[in-house]
Amino acid sequence: MKPRLLDLGDTALTLELGDKVDLALNARVLAARDTLGTVPGITDIVPSYRSLTVHFDPAILERHELAGQLLRAAEATPQNSALVTRWRIPVLYGGTHGPDLIEVARATGRSEEAVVEAFCSLELRVFMIGFLPGFPYLGELPDWLQLPRRSTPRTAVPPQSVAIAGAQAAIYPWQSPGGWHLLGRTPVRMFDLAFPERPALLAVGDSVQFTQIDTAEFERLSAAADAGELSREKLLAP
C-alpha cells in the first residue's frame, strides 16, 4: 500500500502506511516517527498500528511543509529493535479478578490452567498506546485465543484488569466501560504520575510477557504499589 497523507481537520495530518495489524508495518510507523524527529510547531505525534498522526499549530508550521516532511519520513527503513524494553507483568488470573477466564477456557476448548500457561508463554508487542492514558494495545494473540468482544460490554471494568479481544490483549489503567474478556488483574500501575519522566509504564515498541502470581503475592505487590514502593526495574525481563 502506497503511503497516504490524510487531513484530520486543519490541525492534524495522518500518514497512513497500511491498514493491517502487522509487526513489520508497525515498525515502519515507528521508523517514520523517529525520522521525523523534533519539528517546531508539532504538538503531538501519535503512532498507531498502521499510521502516524501528527498534531500541529498552523501558526508555526505550514501544512504543506509538514506534509513534505511526513512523506519523506514514510520512506524510512525500520531499524533492528535492539533498544526495545522487555517487561514482565505479574497477573493474578481467574476468580473475581479474571471473571471471564472460565468462559475463555470453555470457548477455546482448553482448561483454565492451559489458557493461562499459553498466555504467559507469549511475548507480546506494544503496538500502540491510546484510548485511555497508558492503555497498551498488545498483539498478536494466536488464532485459537482470538475471541470476538463480549456481546454486552461491562459498564465498569476494574482498573489494572488484563483482557483480550480479537488478536489483541490490553491492560486497563483506569476503571472504564469495556467489552474485552477479563483474564486477571495486575498490581502494576500502567500510568503513574509518580514517574514524571515516564508516566506510562509501556511505550510503543516495547514487549510484554505476562507471568502468574497467587493471591498472597498479588496482595503483597498491591500494597507495595499503594505505598509507591513497587519498583519498575524489577518488572524488566532478565
Partner 1 sequence: MIEILACNGAATVQDTGRPGFRHLGVPLSGALDGGLLHIANALVSNRPDAAAIELRLVGPRLRAEAATLISLAGAVDGRIEDAHGNSRVARAWASHRLGAGDTLILGAIRSGVAYLAIAGGIDVPRVLGSRSTYTRAQLGGFKGRQLAAGDRLDVLPSASQKIGDGETVAIELQLPNPPLFGASPLRVLAGPQQEYFTAQARARLVEDEFIVSPQADRMGLRLAGPRLEHDPRYGADIVSDGVTPGTIQVPADGNPIVLLADCQTIGGYPKIATVISADLPRLGHALPGQKLRFAEVSIEEAQAARRQATKALTETLASICPTNAEFNLDALYTANLIDGVIDAQQKN
Spatial separation of the C-alpha atoms in residues 28 and 80, rounded to whole Å: 11
Residue nearer to partner 1 on the CB measure, 19 or 117: 19
| Binding positions for partner 1, rule: CB under 8 A | 6-12, 14, 16, 19-21, 43-53, 55, 58-59, 63, 128-135, 137, 173-174, 176, 191, 193, 199-200, 204
Give the nearest distance from C-beta 216 to partner 1 in angstroms.
29
Rounded to whole angstroms, what are the CA distances from 46 to 6, 21, 34, 54, 97? 14, 16, 12, 6, 32
Residue nearer to partner 1 on the CB measure, 181 or 189: 189
Q: Are 167 and 146 in contact (CB under 8 A)?
A: yes
Spatial separation of the C-alpha atoms in residues 78 and 39, rounded to whole Å: 20
Residue nearer to partner 1 on the CB measure, 5 or 120: 5
Spatial separation of the C-alpha atoms in residues 195 and 33, rounded to whole Å: 24
Spatial separation of the C-alpha atoms in residues 100 and 214, rounded to whole Å: 17
Give the nearest distance from C-beta 13 to partner 1 in angstroms.
9
- The radius of gyration of the chain's CA atoms, rounded to the nearest angstrom, is 19
Residue nearer to partner 1 on the CB measure, 49 or 93: 49
Amino acid (one-letter) located at 127:
F
Residue nearer to partner 1 on the CB measure, 46 or 147: 46
Give the nearest distance from C-beta 29 to partner 1 in angstroms.
10
Give the nearest distance from C-beta 47 to partner 1 in angstroms.
7
Give the nearest distance from C-beta 215 to partner 1 in angstroms.
27
- Please identify which residue in the block is written with the cell numbers 495486575: 186
